[in-house]
Amino acid sequence: MKDARRSGCPINLTLEILGDRWSLIVLRDMMFGNRRHFRELLTKSDEGIASNILADRLRRLVEEGLISKADDPSHKQKSLYSLTEMGIALVPVFAMMGAWGRRFLPVTEELSIRAELLEDGGPALWDDFMEELRAIHLGAPRPARSVFGELQAAYEATVARRLTAAAC
């Protein structure tokens, strides 16, 4: 993964930053799972990223300006990773990728419920979500609506439903 510019095409430049198997996974967990610390990202991910890969991706994403790193005041050793505006602006990309994946790939219900809401909500919901992410990650004023809460609640409801069904 070198950083030599292959061309000035927006798709190409985007792929030079995000075109691998892990970068968007890390961003997804920060964005939709509110994972902000190394250990959270390492252990609470369904895909099981290796610690050296995670360290490398975080460093690279900081370098490229998609996330930022700061000390967590509550713990001398904790680092707090935050999305920047550049990272937050990926919401529509995630929405479209999620919609595409949901349509063509063998997704599981509980892991695709967020993608479904994001797709159904459209640009208005994306904007609300980005506004909330700016509050969470950039210290902007917190908006009235919590899209994050809605997505999380829907996810948890789906998990609960599965557990109930399994118990019967």
> Which amino acid is located at 40 in the chain?
E
Q: Which of 13, 17, 22, 64 binds DNA (CB under 7 A)?
A: 22
Q: Kindly state whether residue 69 participates in binding DNA, applying the rule CB under 7 A.
A: yes
Alpha helices (runs of H) in 19-90, residue ranges in sequence order: 23-32, 38-43, 51-64, 85-88
Instruction: Identify the sign of the CA torsion 86, 92, 98, 101.
Output: negative
Q: Kindly state whether residue 75 participates in binding DNA, applying the rule CB under 7 A.
A: yes
Q: Which of 61, 115, 133, 136 binds its own copies (CB under 8 A)?
A: 115
Q: Kindly state whether residue 20 participates in binding DNA, applying the rule CB under 7 A.
A: yes
168 burial type by CB count under 10 A (0-12 exposed, 13-18 middle, 19+ buried): exposed
The 3-state DSSP class for residue 51 equals helix
Q: Which of 13, 18, 45, 56 binds DNA (CB under 7 A)?
A: 56
Find the angle CA(16)-CA(22)-CA(24) to the nearest 5 degrees. Answer: 70
| Residue 25, contacted partner among DNA, its own copies, none, CB below 5-8 A by kind | its own copies
Q: Kindly state whether residue 19 participates in binding its own copies, applying the rule CB under 8 A.
A: yes
Measured from the Cβ of residue 49, the count of other Cβ atoms closer than 10 Å reads 19
Stretch of residues binding its own copies (CB under 8 A), selected from 22-30, 71-79, 130-138, 153-161: 22-30
Whole-angstrom Cα distance, residue 137 to residue 84?
7
Contact residues toward DNA (CB under 7 A) are 1-2, 20-22, 37-40, 42, 48, 50-53, 55-56, 58, 69, 72, 74-79
Task: Using CB under 8 A, list all residues that contact its own copies.
Answer: 5-17, 19-21, 24-25, 28, 46-48, 65, 86, 89-90, 92-108, 111-112, 115
